[in-house]
Amino acid sequence: MNTAERITHAVDLFWKLLTAVVMTAFALMLIIMAIQVISRYALGVAVPWTDEASRYLFLAEIFLGSVLALRYQEHIRITVVTDLLPSPLRHVATALADIVCMLVLLMLIVGAWNMMERTAGVMASTFNMSFSYIYLIQMISALLMMGILLSDLYLRIVAARLPTRKQRRSH
């Protein structure tokens, strides 16, 4: 196995692992919420940690799931305007949209970093976990999305520089 194949294999393994983490967070959230409902309404006993734990799992699922949605191009897009544009302008509009998304992600990364610093010593009220982990997941997710958008932008630029079929035939 050469280096390129190893890198491809490692990247594929990373995406499978991230998918497993998101699915596990979802399954755990469902189980914890079931415990919460059953204990509160069937047994008449409130389990205090279930509300907070399900909230944290939900946040992890949302942020890490957004990375997967971006990777597989499953985010909702409104393409009414870009569908009307000719192909070269469509590529420019898509690249500009990616740049705007990267700027928003950069602000999210800076904000998450600031909140990690501010909440490092603040612990969850029902179990021993720092609030900063929530913002760490947010920052990691934003960094991963930034990487995906940079990769997509690079591929668009490379594709735009390749000659079209008409240009190849004329040579």
**Can you give the residue range of the structural domain that contains 18?**
1-76
pLDDT score, position 88: 80
The answer to whether residue 168 sits within a structural domain is: no
Do 130 and 59 have their domain in common?
no
169 within a domain of the structure (yes/no):
no
CB 32 within 8 A of CB 53: yes
pLDDT, position 64: 97
* 6 and 53 part of one domain: yes
Q: Are residues 70 and 108 in the same domain?
A: no
- Count up the domains in the chain and report the number: 2
Predicted confidence at residue 165, as pLDDT, reads: 59
Residues 64 and 88 in one domain: no
Q: Is 167 among the domain residues? A: no
Condensed to tens digits (0 to 9), the pLDDT of residues 19-70 reads 999 999 999 999 999 999 999 888 888 888 999 999 999 999 999 999 999 9
Assign residue 46 a region: left if phi > 0, alpha if psi is -120 to 50, beta otherwise? Answer: beta
In a domain, 131, yes or no: yes
User: Across residues 114-137, what is the average pLDDT?
Assistant: 91
* Phi and psi at residue 46, to the nearest 5°: -90, 130
Co-location of 64 and 86 in the same domain: no
- Over pLDDT 90: what percentage of the chain? 60
Model pTM score: 0.85
* DSSP H or E run through 86: none
Residues 64 and 81 in one domain: no
Q: Are residues 88 and 62 in the same domain?
A: no
Residue 8 lies in a domain: yes
56 with 117, same domain: the answer is no
- Cα 170 from Cα 100, distance rounded (Å): 37
Q: Do 155 and 96 reside in the same domain of the chain?
A: yes
Neighbouring-strand partners of residue 123: 130
The answer to whether 21 and 64 have CB atoms below 8 angstroms apart is: yes
Q: Which of 12, 43, 76 is the last residue of a domain?
A: 76
The residues facing 130 across adjacent strands are: 123
Q: Which of 14, 41, 76 is the last residue in one of the domains?
A: 76
Identify the domain boundary among 76, 94, 125: 76
The string of pLDDT tens digits covering residues 131-156 is 899 999 999 999 999 999 999 999 88
Residues 151 and 99 in one domain: yes
Are residue 115 and residue 39 in the same domain, yes or no? no
Q: What is the mean pLDDT of residues 97-105?
A: 94
